[in-house]
Every structure is written in structure tokens, then in C-alpha cells.
A and B are shown apart, each in its own frame.
Chain A
Amino acid sequence: LQEVPGPCDHEDLLDGVIFGAKYLGSTQLVSERNPPPSTRMAQAREAMDRVKAPDGETQPMTEVDLFVSTKRVKVLTADSQEAMMDHALQTISYIADIGSVLVLMARRRLARRPASQAHSHRLYKILCHVFHSEDAQLIAQAIGQAFTVAYSQFLRESGVDPNQVGAQQSQGAAGPGHLHNGDLDHFSNSENCREVCIEKRRGEGLGVALVESGWGSLLPTAVIANLLHGGPAERSGALSIGDRLTAINGTSLVGLSLAACQAAVREVKSQTLVTLSIIHCPPVTTAIIRRPHTREQLGFCVEDGIICSLLRGGIAERGGVRVGHRIIEINGHSVVATPHARIIELLTEAHTEVHIKMMPAATYRLLTGQEQPVYL
């Protein structure tokens, strides 16, 4: 049997392993057949928000045992060992772990869209079970390991060499994708989203320099790279470098080119009151790349510390690495004054969990005085 990386002993997974957890509740969602990762992330968050009691309120919960094997996942009451839920492994669509919360998504059956809709497009009902455990990540990894073991068996039974499929998967073509990205959490947290009203004189610019968020960004829009000292934007005290600018006077800038965003900011020059919608973000972002082995391709190219291309669906993209960003740190080591060859060496050697701190290269050049900002 092929060894599959994960927290469990391979043989144990065939028989089944048990994890203690607290069952918080279940909900049901309707989903496309194979939704993209961003949709799955939103679904997991939706399920958690529906089931989890708001902060400060009592959360009803039941002590359970989660039985995980390469055939099934069962939820048993901890005291009587009675099966509350029993799902064949192949009907589990995916799992999500968010801090100490684990969400298990089981496909129920097909539903059809109402006849009123143009295409009779098939939809799945998915049952979402939400659990709490300090070991949520470990349990998710164990279920992920069971997925991989079961999938390898399935391939072998179908006459396919799992090793060959594994090679394709590690290049990000398909397969058991681990998507790790804090951006969605950050962007969907309403506390980070603000409306800022800026007062200024007629004909005065806002006093902001903008850069692109970079290809690979979950939220493609302009980023504040610098603020003119004493300018209206800085005087407001509500903006900082790194903030995403999502709208100006109610007009969305998301998905527009940098030139179009800059033009929209120039257009408000004649006004005395400007409303900006922003998402507060730190100037430096961290990508976390899960790379079990150094033989696995990182999936991006670097030139003089700047990320210049990204493999679609690769582990780097899934970890939040962005084109046009300068690498500031690799696993806690500053690389700002490091020669290219050494950066490549650090990246080649890095595995398990690779933490990469980065910022838009243009922001970096402005902050280090290599370039003069063009204030709008």
C-alpha cells in the first residue's frame, strides 16, 4: 500500500480512528456539483455562521466521537456510542477547518432548479455538520488522509497508477486541493470594511498614491501605496498604507484596471466631500504555502525578490501568493537585501508550511524612496 502523508497510521485508517469533538449542529445548503474553492470557503463560513451561537450567547453542544475510516465518517454520541450520522466517505464533498471549528460537507441528493429557471441545471443539497475541537485541523487532516487513501484504492481498482495521478495533482492540476488563505476571512469580516468621508477643498487632490492588488488577489482592486503628507486623505486619519479601495462615491472599483481606478479618483477633484469604501489591510500580507516535500513544485517564479508569475491552482496561488509582490520575509528570515540566488535557495529548501511575507513591489519602492509617488 502506498504511504499517504497525514496524522494517522495508514492501517488504522482502514479500520477507523476516533476523535473526540463537540457537535454544534447541522444546516443544509444547495450547491453546484463541483464549486470553485472560493465558493466552498463561503459555504463553510455560511454553515458556521448559521450554526454557531453569536459571541456571548450560550452555544448548545453535544459531546461526540467522530469515527473516520477510508469507508465512512460517523458521528457517535460520546456516552451511548449511538450513531447520530453516518456518511459513506465518497459522499463527503469536502471538509473545512476554521480555527477550532470543523465543518463537514456531505452531499445528500440531487435537487432540480425550479422549472421557471432557464436551464434545468442540477444542484446538490449538502448537509453541513459543524463541530468544535481544539484538534479541528488535525481531524481535518485525518479525513483528508482518508480521502487520499480511498482515492488511491479507487484508482488502483480502476487500473490507474496513483503515483502518476499524484504527480499531476502536486502540480496543481486537480485533486485534493488544500486551500489556505486568510484573505477571504479578512475581506468578509465587516469590521475591516469602512466608509470614509473625506473633506477637502474644491480642486484639491485626495493625496493618495495607488497600486494594483496583483494577479492572484482574491479582491482585485486598487491598494493605497502612500498618503501625501498633510493631504486630505492623511488628514482624515482614517486611511493607511495597504488599505484596499473598493468604491469611490458609491461606484465600485473592484475588477477595474489601475488606470481606471486612478481616473475615478482624479474625477472627484472638483468635489468637496468624497466617500471612499475601504477594507483595512496591513501593508504586508502573509501567504502560507503547504508543501509536504521539497520535490513538490512551489508554483511561482521569482526575479530579484519579486513574484513574476504564478501557476494557476498551484500550492502558491492557493496559499495567497500574488504576482507583482516583493518578498519581504521567508519563514521569518528577512530577504529585503538578499541576493536572488540566496532567495531561490531559501525557497527551494522550504517545505512543510512556508510563510512568505510580501507587499506590492510598487509600495515597497515608494516606501524605500526608490520611486517618487504620484499623488492623486
Chain B
Amino acid sequence: SALTITVNPMEKHEEPGRGEE
């Protein structure tokens, strides 16, 4: 079956180091 990826456009704006702990 086909695989679809949906990327969060916010990803490229996130500062390095941030993210859910």
C-alpha cells in the first residue's frame, strides 16, 4: 500500500534545541 508523508512546515522554523522533553 502507498505511503504518504506530511511534513510539518513549522519544522524548519524551530530553533535547534527545542523539542518535547
Whether chains A and B associate is yes
Residues in A lying within 8 Å of B, measured CB to CB: 33-34, 37, 40-41, 44-45, 87-99, 106-110, 122, 124, 127, 137, 140-141, 143-144, 147-148, 150-151, 154, 169, 174-182, 184-185, 288
What are 12 contact pairs spanning A and B, CB under 8 A? A40-B5, A88-B20, A90-B10, A108-B19, A108-B21, A137-B4, A148-B9, A151-B8, A151-B9, A182-B2, A185-B2, A185-B3
CB distance from B21 to the nearest CB of A (A): 6
CB distance from B18 to the nearest CB of A (A): 7
CB distance from B10 to the nearest CB of A (A): 4
Residues in B lying within 8 Å of A, measured CB to CB: 1-14, 16-21
Q: Is the CB of B6 within 8 A of A150?
A: no
Instruction: Answer whether A94 and B20 are a contact pair too, CB < 8 Å, given A40-B5, A185-B3.
Output: no
CB distance from A277 to the nearest CB of B (A): 24
Partner of A124, one of B1, B4, B12, B19: B19
Q: Is the CB of A93 within 8 A of B11?
A: yes
CB distance from B13 to the nearest CB of A (A): 7
Q: Is the CB of A143 within 8 A of B3?
A: no
For the complex, would chain A's binding face be called helix, strand, loop or mixed by DSSP majority?
mixed
Instruction: Answer whether A41 and B5 are a contact pair too, CB < 8 Å, given A90-B10, A147-B10.
Output: yes
User: Which residues does chain B contribute within 8 Å of A144, judged by CB atoms?
Assistant: 6
How many A-B pairs have beta carbons closer than 8 Å: the answer is: 112
Partner of A143, one of B2, B6, B9, B12: B6
CB distance from A2 to the nearest CB of B (A): 14
Q: Is the CB of B18 within 8 A of A122?
A: no
CB distance from B19 to the nearest CB of A (A): 4
Instruction: Answer whether A41 and B14 are a contact pair too, CB < 8 Å, given A108-B20, A151-B9, A176-B8.
Output: no
Least CB separation from A126: chain B residue: B19
Least CB separation from A98: chain B residue: B3
In the assembled complex, the Cα of A32 lies from the Cα of B13 at a distance in Å of 15
The 8 closest A-B pairs by CB, nearest first: A99-B1, A144-B6, A107-B19, A91-B20, A94-B7, A151-B9, A90-B10, A179-B5
User: Which residues does chain B contribute within 8 Å of A33, judged by CB atoms?
Assistant: 16
In the assembled complex, the Cα of A37 lies from the Cα of B14 at a distance in Å of 18
Partner of B4, one of A89, A96, A151: A96
Least CB separation from A125: chain B residue: B19
Q: Is the CB of A181 within 8 A of B2?
A: yes
User: Which residues does chain B contribute within 8 Å of A87, judged by CB atoms?
Assistant: 20
Q: Is the CB of A147 within 8 A of B4?
A: no
In the assembled complex, the Cα of A108 lies from the Cα of B17 at a distance in Å of 9
Least CB separation from A101: chain B residue: B1
Least CB separation from B12: chain A residue: A34
User: Which residues does chain B contribute within 8 Å of A90, judged by CB atoms?
Assistant: 8, 10, 14
